[in-house]
Amino acid sequence: MSGKPKLYYFNGRGRMESIRWLLAAAGVEFEECFLETKDDLTKLRKDGSLLFQQVPMVEIDGMKMVQSRAIGNYIAMKYNLYGKDLKERALIDMYVEAVIDLNELLMTHPFQPADKKEQHFATIVEKATNRYFPVYEKVLKDHGQDFLVGNQFSRADVQLLETLLMAEECKPDILAKFPLLQSFKARISNIPTVKKFLQPGSQRKPPLQEKDVPKLMKIFH
Amino acid sequence: MAGKPKLHYTKGRGKMESIRWLLAAAGVEFEEEFIETKEDLEKLRNDGSLLFQQVPMVEIDGMKMVQTRAILSYIAAKYSLYGKDLKERAWIDMYVEGTTDLMGMIMYLPFQPADTKEKNLALIIERVTTRYFPVYEKALKDHGHDYLVGNKLSWADIHLLEAILMAEECKPDILSAFPLLQAFKGRTSNIPTIKKFLQPGSQRKPPADEKFVAIVRKIFNI
Q: Output the tens digit of pLDDT for each of chain A's 221 residues.
A: 458 999 999 999 999 999 999 999 999 999 999 999 999 999 999 999 999 999 999 999 999 999 999 999 999 999 999 999 999 999 999 999 999 999 999 988 888 888 999 999 999 999 999 999 999 999 999 999 999 999 999 999 999 999 999 999 999 999 999 999 999 999 999 999 999 999 999 999 999 887 888 888 888 76
Chain B from 114 to 143: CB within 8 A of any A CB: 131-132, 135
Q: Are B15 and B68 in contact (CB under 8 A)?
A: yes
Q: Residue B3's Cα: distance from chain center in Å?
A: 23
Count of alpha carbons within 13 Å of A29, Cβ hemisphere only? 3
pLDDT digits over B66-82, tens only?
999 999 999 999 999 99
A125, with CB counted inside 10 A (0-12, 13-18, 19+), is: middle
Nearest CB to B131; choose among A53, A65, A135:
A53
Chain B stretch 43-62, residues whose beta carbon is closer than 8 A to a beta carbon of chain A: 51-53, 61
CA distances from B49 to B5, B64, B65 (A): 15, 7, 9
Q: What is the mean pLDDT of chain B?
A: 96
Q: Which chain A residue lies closest to B94 (C-alpha atoms)?
A: A70
3-state SS assignment for residue B31: strand
Distance from CA of A18 to the nearest CA of B (A): 17
Count, residues in chain A: 221
Q: Search chain B and give the residue with CA nearest A133.
A: B52
Q: Say if the Cβ atoms of A73 and B89 lie within 8 Å.
A: yes
**B87 in contact with A at a CB cutoff of 8 Å?**
yes
Is residue A14 a contact partner of residue A107, using CB atoms and an 8 Å limit? yes
What pLDDT sits at residue A2? 57
Asked if residue B21 has pLDDT above 90, the reply is yes
The CB density around residue A135, as the number of other CB atoms within 10 Å, is: 15
- Cβ B32 vs Cβ B9: under 8 Å: yes
Chain B CA closest to residue A96? B70
Q: In this complex, do A98 and B131 lie within 8 Å of one another by their Cβ atoms? A: no
User: How many whole angstroms from its chain centre is CA B74?
Assistant: 15
Q: Which of B52, B82, B99, B123 to mutate to test the interface with A (most CBs of A within 10 A)?
A: B52
DSSP state of A2: -
Q: Is the pTM of this model over 0.90?
A: yes
Q: Measured between CB atoms, which of A63, A77, A90 is closest to B74?
A: A90
* Strand-pair partners of A63: A60
pLDDT at B1 over 50: no
**Is B77 in CB contact (< 8 Å) with chain A?**
yes
DSSP assignment of A97-156, as one string?
A: HHHHHHHHHHHHGGGS-GGGHHHHHHHHHHIIIIIIHHHHHHHHHHH--SSSSTTS--HH
CB contact under 8 A, B87 and A97: no
- Helical segments of B61-108, H only: 68-78, 86-108
Chain A residues within 8 A of B90 when measuring between CB atoms: 63, 65, 70, 73-74
- DSSP, collapsed to helix, strand or coil, labels residue A65 as strand
Tell me the three state secondary structure of residue A93: helix
| Nearest chain B CA: its distance from A98 CA (Å) | 7
Beta-carbon count within 10 A of B166 CB: 20
Gap between the Cα atoms of A30 and A6, Å rounded: 6
What whole-number distance in Å separates Cα of residue A87 and Cα of residue B78?
10
Query: Could you read off the pLDDT of B111-169 as tens digits, one per residue?
Result: 988 899 899 999 999 999 999 999 999 999 999 999 999 999 999 999 999 999 999 99
> Is A36 within 8 Å of A216 (Cβ atoms)?
no
Residues of B in contact with A132 (CB under 8 A): 52
Q: Which residues of B touch A61 (CB under 8 A)?
A: 87
Name residues 163-202 of chain B within 8 A of A (Cβ).
none
Cα B157 from Cα B191, distance rounded (Å): 11
How sure is the predictor about B105, in pLDDT bands with cuts at 50, 70 and 90? very high
CA nearest to A132 within chain B: B52
pLDDT of amino acid B2: 52
| Residue whose C-alpha is closest to residue A190's, from A170, A160, A161, A148 | A161
d(CA B131, CA B126): 8
- Backbone region of residue A21 per phi and psi (left: phi > 0; alpha: psi in -120 to 50; beta: other values): alpha
Instruction: Compute φ and ψ for A181, nearest 5 degrees.
Output: -70, -35
Residues of B in contact with A53 (CB under 8 A): 131
Residue B174 has φ and ψ, to the nearest 5°, of: -65, -20
pLDDT reported for residue A109? 87
Q: How far is CA A19 from the centre of its chain?
A: 6
Query: Which pLDDT tens digit goes with each residue over B22-72?
Result: 999 999 999 999 999 999 999 999 999 999 999 999 999 999 999 999 999
Distance from CA of B114 to the nearest CA of A (A): 22
